[in-house]
């Protein structure tokens, strides 16, 4: 009768597991070493050349942010509804295979999108306000 050991080095996946652990340790070690070396070698003073323009363009001046939160919200809603349309293409291709179940699921999906659209509309997220 053989006794089972918890450390079975002959398992076919032991080598892959060992390489995974070894690669993780080496990656972590190199990351820490690179961080330490870069902090030791970095110059901490801010020189004028470092803060100047790299290629070309107008001189950098401090100015308030002119991007409105309304623009961000409008763009976010556009991306959200645009991505949701992508989910309708596989349904349209396999419409006959899915049958009534697929039709019901798509009606529920479109209904949820419509509820979200109406909510955003009522909250005024789709109205454009001028920045002044």
Taking alpha carbons only, the member of 100, 105, 73 closest to residue 88 is: 105
Whole-number Å distance between alpha carbons of 64 and 47: 24
**Angstrom distance (rounded) from CA 91 to CA 101:** 11
Q: What is the radius of gyration, based on Cα positions, of the chain?
A: 29
CA distances from 48 to 45, 52, 53, 73, 116 (A): 10, 6, 10, 37, 50
pTM, two decimal places: 0.44
Q: How far is it, in rounded angstroms, from Cα 78 to Cα 82?
A: 6
pLDDT of 80-121, one tens digit each? 888 888 888 888 888 788 888 888 988 999 999 899 889 988
- The pLDDT of residue 14 is above 80: yes
Q: Pick 69-122's CATH classification: 2.30.31.70, 1.10.287.70, 3.20.20.70, 1.20.58.1610.
A: 1.20.58.1610
């Amino acid at each position: 009768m053989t006794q089972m050991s918890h450390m079975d080095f002959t398992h076919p996946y032991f080598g892959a597991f060992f390489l995974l652990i070894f690669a993780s340790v080496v990656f972590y070690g190199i990351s820490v070493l690179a961080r330490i070396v870069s902090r030791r070698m970095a110059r901490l003073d801010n020189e004028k050349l470092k803060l100047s323009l790299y290629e070309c363009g107008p001189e950098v001046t401090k100015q308030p942010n002119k991007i409105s939160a309304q623009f961000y919200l409008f763009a976010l809603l556009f991306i959200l509804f645009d991505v949701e349309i992508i989910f309708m293409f596989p349904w349209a291709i396999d419409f006959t295979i899915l049958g009534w179940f697929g039709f019901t699921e798509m009606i529920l999906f479109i209904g949820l999108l419509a509820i979200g659209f109406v909510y955003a509309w009522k909250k005024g997220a789709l109205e454009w306000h001028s920045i002044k």
